[in-house]
Amino acid sequence: TGKEKWSFDCGAEISGGACYANGTLLFGAHDDTLHCLDTQTGKEKWNFKTEGPYYGSVAVVAGKTFAAGCDSRLHVIDVATGKESGSLDLGSQTGATVAVSGDNLYLGTMGSEFHAIAWKEPKIVWTYRSPNRPKEFFSSAALGADLAVVGSRDNRVHAIDRKTGSA
């Protein structure tokens, strides 16, 4: 019908897209919070506070969501409970959405680094920096069978080997 079913006011700007997972809607906002709403009622099931806003969207794999933002950390959070099961210092803020394939996720930072991360541990597998003139990675990566392809503020698109981290 096009009629509004419900709305939720988090009181802050929402700059990333929402992610649907098993009857919930996940999104980060500039109130330094990752929100999880019930899609039927619009009621908040849980929220996860950080020390900085989210710009990108979250991703969901195997019942986990991966949130990264201006607190320079990757948070691995259980979608059902909202409890953090792991955290990793990225060394710099990020405004991108993580790309996930299997046990690894890929994410660029404002510190001019692009990481492959083993999300179950979590730990950094490799880090790529542009050899020419390193600039921030604001965009989200596209993943192929062998490559992670990501744009940078160096005005280039980088094709990076997913196994080795080399261009």
Q: What is the pTM of this model?
A: 0.92
Partners of 124 in beta bridges:
117
As a whole number, the mean pLDDT across the chain is 95
In degrees, to the nearest 5, what angle opens at C-alpha 65 toward C-alphas 116 and 44?
Answer: 155
**CA-based nearest residue to 80, from 113, 48, 52:** 48
Q: Is the pLDDT of residue 138 over 90?
A: no
CA distance 143 to 6: 35
CA distance 126 to 162: 9
Q: Is residue 12 packed enough to be buried (19+ CB in 10 Å), middle (13-18) or exposed (0-12)? A: middle
Q: Which residue has the higher pLDDT, 63 or 133?
A: 63
* 42-79 confidence digits (pLDDT tens): 999 999 999 999 888 989 999 999 988 899 999 999 99
Q: Give Rg (Cα) of the chain.
A: 16
Give me the pLDDT at residue 56, please.
87
Main-chain phi, psi angles of 68, to 5 degrees = -140, 140
* 1-40 confidence digits (pLDDT tens): 999 999 999 999 998 899 999 999 999 999 999 999 999 9
Give me the pLDDT at residue 92, please.
95
**CA-based nearest residue to 76, from 109, 111, 120:** 120
Give me the pLDDT at residue 147, please.
98
